[in-house]
Amino acid sequence: MLNKLHLWEIIKNGHKSLYHEIDGHKGSVLQKIIIFDFVPIVISIGLYFLTDFQTKLPEFSSDILSGLSIFSGLLFSLIIVIVDKAKARKATLLGSQNEEEKNYLSKYLLYSEQLVTQISLSIIYAFLVILLLILSLIRLENLNIPSELITIISSIGILLITYFSIQFFFLILLIISGMYSIFINDIDS
């Protein structure tokens, strides 16, 4: 059953796609680590210590869930649009004899594949945040757990929610810029 979900493959390929530029060349690993890993950690820790997010989480949960649900639905439909455009371009690629056009279309298909993996990764992050929000509603006080451990578990939960929410936000920005490139390219050609 779990092998049918392909979650690990989506996460692995999604992170791998963050290393590559539009033209398929490998980008800076350090830049990816700083932007997609380090910055969300720093922002999450900063938000944890500079805000009263832990007490406000129950109030914000429904807003966060609504936003994630809307974006996830849009992202699902965006995958369909990208796949349809890629199929149409692939049909053009198969019939083309022009080498320059073949190179352009193969880069387009590669970039479309990267966008689909990034969209899939962002949907997984959205589901993960939703799961963490649901788990944050569990009353640990009723489980006869020491209060120090409850504080640690709650803190880790808040940090994970903000970390994956920020990564989701960064992925959305990356996807929007990718879709902008594809749509502008379609309009120009």
Cβ 5 vs Cβ 120: under 8 Å: no
Q: Which residue has the higher pLDDT, 189 or 157?
A: 157
pLDDT at 122: 92
Residue 189, pLDDT > 60, answer yes
Residue 47, pLDDT > 70, answer yes
pLDDT at 42: 94
Residue spans per domain, the chain? 2-19+27-51+118-188
pLDDT tens string 77-130: 888 888 888 888 778 777 777 777 777 777 778 888 888 899 999 999 999 999
pLDDT at 56: 73
pTM for the predicted model, two decimal places: 0.83
Q: Measured at the alpha carbon of residue 178, what is the angle toward residues 107 and 112, in degrees to the nearest 5?
A: 40
Closest CA to 158 of 135, 182, 189: 135
Helix axes 147-188, 99-136, angle to 10 degrees: 160
Cβ atoms within 10 Å of 172's Cβ, excluding its own: 18
